[in-house]
Amino acid sequence: MKTITATAMITSAILAFAGDITLPEPAKSGGMPLADALNARQSQRAFADTGFTPQVLSDLLWAANGVNRPDGRRTAPTARNRGEIDVYALTEDGAFLFNPAGHTLTQVNTNDLRAVSGFQGFVHNAPVVLVMVVNRAKQGSGAGDRISDRYAAMDTGYVSQNIYLFAAANGMSSVALGTLDAKSLHTSLKLGENDEALLAQPVGYPK
């Protein structure tokens, strides 16, 4: 597994990862005060041609749904603590599953799937698009169960808001997208039979 240090810089306009990645240790203290981040939170649909450092990506993924306690619990809550929301990072060089326990990324596709994650033309301009997927095996139910579907939607919203607040606190642009090609993503991300991509959220610097 390849390790990218916190001081390494992405010199191209987008992230350039290949294979599996061990992320730098995320920053878990400091930053903008919560009230200021809430005041700055907004949906923004224009992205600059600027990539991330590995440290910024590490911090973003940890904020979204990373481990924040010794018992493995996350920054985003889930019903019955099942942790059924998986986060995938889509970049120019492929799609990666975020593994919170080890704080790593596992490559699941080498194609650029950013344009598939949303039907709006601006989506492929963001250096990374985070896709939230309900993992039915972790949830312990199949699609169509009313209560489970409600929990999945609710828990996805928590992750999305974490992303929004991180973006606001770091001067970034982000927008949650419910219009995505879930069928194509299901195939491209190699999801389980009953798993479903529920939300996509591009993140980048404002244009």
In the 3-class helix/strand/coil scheme, how is 24-64 assigned residue by residue?
CCCCCCCCCCHHHHHHHCCCCCCECCCCCCHHHHHHHHHHH
Mean per-residue pLDDT for 150-159?
96
- Give residue 29's Cα distance to chain centre: 20
CATH of the domain at 29: 3.40.109.10
Confidence (pLDDT) at 14: 36
pLDDT class of 11 with cuts at 50, 70, 90: very low
Name the least confident of 43-52, 63-72, 101-110, 116-125: 116-125
What is the total count of domains within the chain?
Answer: 1
Confidence (pLDDT) at 139: 87
Size (the chain), residues: 207
d(Cα 189, Cα 207) in Å, to the nearest integer? 29
Confidence (pLDDT) at 144: 67
Name the least confident of 6-15, 23-32, 75-84, 170-179: 6-15
The reported pTM is 0.88
d(Cα 62, Cα 105) in Å, to the nearest integer? 12
Taking a C-beta distance cutoff of 8 angstroms, is the pair 194, 142 a contact?
yes
Confidence (pLDDT) at 50: 86
Tell me the per-residue pLDDT of 90-149, one tens digit each, with 9 for 90 and over. Answer: 999 899 999 999 999 999 999 999 988 878 888 888 999 999 999 998 988 766 688 889
- Identify the domain containing residue 48 by its residue range: 2-204
Confidence (pLDDT) at 127: 93
